[in-house]
Structure 1
Amino acid sequence: MMDMRQRIVRELSRIEQEEQVRILYACESGSRAWGFPSQNSDYDVRFIYVRKKEDYLSLFEKRDVIERPISDMLDISGWDLKKALRLYRKSNPPLLEWLQSPIVYKEKPGAIDELRKQSAHSFSQRACMYHYLHMARGNYREYLQGDKVRIKKYFYVLRPILACQWIEEAQTTPPIEFSALVERLVATDTELYRDINGLLARKKAGEELDIEPSRPVINHFIEEKLAYYEALASRIPASTDNHDALLDRWFLATINGNTG
C-alpha cells in the first residue's frame, strides 16, 4: 500500500503541474474505501481541484473534469471545484462519500472542512435514497438473478440497500464503510448477518469470489428491501434547505486562496 500511496501522491503532483491546478482534496472512493477490496481491485482515486482565478473569469470555460487513463490498477480522476459545489448542493452521494473516505491522499488545511461541516444541513434524504436505490436495483437485476450468480456482486447491492435503510432510520449521510452498515443494521438478524459476514471474511482474506450458488437468505432480504424502498422513496419530501449564498462565498474565498 505504501508504494502505491507514494505513486498516487506523485501522480497528483504531476497533475497539478501539467494542468496548472491546485488539488484541494484527494481520496480513495471505491471498494478499498468501502472496506471490501479484492486482491486485484483498482485504486479508485478521486479529487477536487481549483484553477487559477483568471480561468473562472475567462469567456472560454475550461473542462470541469480531469481524467487519467486507467493503468496498472490506478483509476484517477477529479472534478473542478465549481462542478463539485454544484453537485454538493444537490446532495450528490458519491461526493458526500468522498468527504468521509477513510483513505485520504491529499487535503489542503481548511479547504474541505466547511463542506464537511455543512454536509449534514445540505443532505437530501430523497436524492440520496433514489441514488442508492437505483444502484441496488440495477446491480441486482444484472448480476444476481438465477441459481448461480457472480457472488461478489452481493456487496454492490447490499451496500446501497443498507445505505437506504440508514437514511430511513438515521436520516443522515450513510457511513462509507460497509462493515459499519452491517453492524448497525443487520446484527440482530442472525442468519442474514452470518451469511453476509461469511462472504465479507472471504473477500477480505483475498479470496476471489466468482460464480457460485445464490444465497436465498440474502436474496430474500434484497427483494424485500427493494420493494419497500421503491414505495418509500417517492413519499420522502424534497429538501428545501438553501445554502447557495454560503457556497458562493466559500467558492470565492477558495479561488482567492483564503481557505488553505
Structure 2
Amino acid sequence: MNIDQEIQNLFQCRDDTPLFYIESGSRLWGMASPDSDYDVRGFHLPSKAQYYDYRKHRDLIEIMDGDFDFVSYDLDKMFGLLAKSNPTVLEWVRAHIVYLNDFPEWEKFKKGLLEKIDYCALYHHYISLAKGGIKVMQTAENFTYKKVFYSIRGLMSAELATQHIMPELLITHLFEQVDQDDPLRHWAEDYLEIKKQQQEKAQLPKNEQQLILNLLNEKIEILSHSIPQTMHRPEQLQQYLTEYSIHLKEYFYK
C-alpha cells in the first residue's frame, strides 16, 4: 500500500493543511502480524476559514478504508494532548516511520517538548494499557499474543517511566532497556517471532495462559510501589506549546 499517496489523495479534496503523519501501533513497535492494518496517525492545520469562523468545527478526521486506518487531529487538539504529556501522541512525535512532515523546525520543536514531559502521565497511561489488556484476556477467546505483547510493552514502558527514562518504541530496543533477567523480557523475546507470524486473533496455548497472567500481575504489584511524582511546573510545557502554536499559525495563516 502506498501510504504517501493515500494521504495526498485524502487532502486533495480538503482545505486543511496536512502537517505530520506517521505509522503507529504494531508496525511502529516492530511486532506486526501478517494481517495488521496500517495505523496512520498525525495532525493537520484547519483551513483559514475554519480557524476564523465563530462556529466550532470538528477537530478530527477519521478514515477507515480496508487496511488503511487514518486518524488526524487538528493542531489545537494535538497540542492540547501534548500539554498533558499524553503518551499516545508523544509516541507519534517520536515515531521513526514518517510518511509526511511539513512541520517547520520539527527537530527543535521535538527536542524542547521531550525535555518538559511529565513521566507520571506516562506511567499511568502504560499501566492502564497493561491492565486493560489483562482484563480483555480473561474474557472468552481473547487471550491473544497481541494482547499479551501489548501488556508486556505497557509494563516495560511504565517501569522505565518510574526511572524518568523514555521507553523505546521498537520492542527489541525496549527489551534492551530493561533488566536482562526480567522474566517478562525472557518470555517476550522467546515468543516475538511466533507473534509476528500469527494472525491478529491467534490465541496463546491454554497451558501458558496462567503463567503469563501471573508474571503480568506480579510486575504490576512491583510497579505500584514506585509511582513517579508528577511534574512540578506544567506551565512550562503549556507555555512552550502556546508559543509554537502562535508561531505555526502566523507561518501558515499569512
Q: If the TM-score is normalised by the length of the shorter chain, which range does it land in?
A: 0.7 to 0.9
Cα contact 1:133–1:160 (8 A) shared by 2: yes
Task: Map 1:35-46 onto structure 2 (within 5 A).
Answer: 35-46=30-41
Question: Partner residue of 2:173?
Answer: 180
* 3-state SS, counterpart of residue 28 of structure 1: strand
The letter of the residue matching 1:27 is I
Structure 1 residue 229: Cα displacement: 2.6
Structure 2 spans left out of the alignment, 5+ residues: none
Cα 1:61–1:192 change in 2 (3 A) is closer
CA distance in 2, matches of 1:193, 1:174: 14
CA distance in 1, matches of 2:248, 2:230: 33
For normalisation by structure 2, the TM-score amounts to 0.88
Cα 1:62–1:78 change in 2 (3 A) is same
Structure 1 spans left out of the alignment, 5+ residues: none
Task: Map 1:180-199 onto structure 2 (within 5 A).
Answer: 180-189=173-182, 192-199=184-191
Cα 1:151–1:145 change in 2 (3 A) is farther
Cα contact 1:151–1:212 (8 A) shared by 2: no
CA distance in 1, matches of 2:105, 2:90: 15
Cα contact 2:43–2:78 (8 A) shared by 1: yes
CA distance in 1, matches of 2:118, 2:76: 20
Cα contact 1:93–1:128 (8 A) shared by 2: yes
CA distance in 2, matches of 1:142, 1:25: 32
* 3-state SS, counterpart of residue 194 of structure 1: helix
Aligned residues: 248
Among 150, 157, 176, the residue aligned to 1:156: 150
- 2:189 is the alignment partner of 1:202: no
RMSD of aligned residue pairs (Cα, Å): 2.4
Among 214, 236, 249, the residue aligned to 2:229: 236
For normalisation by structure 1, the TM-score amounts to 0.86
Describe the superposition over 1:76-128 as per-residue Cα deviations: whole angstroms up to 9, x where unpaired.
Answer: 11000111011101001011000111211001153533431122232111111
Structure 1 residue 228: Cα displacement: 2.6
Cα 1:11–1:118 change in 2 (3 A) is same
Structure 1 residue 73: Cα displacement: 1.1
> Percentage identity across aligned positions?
25
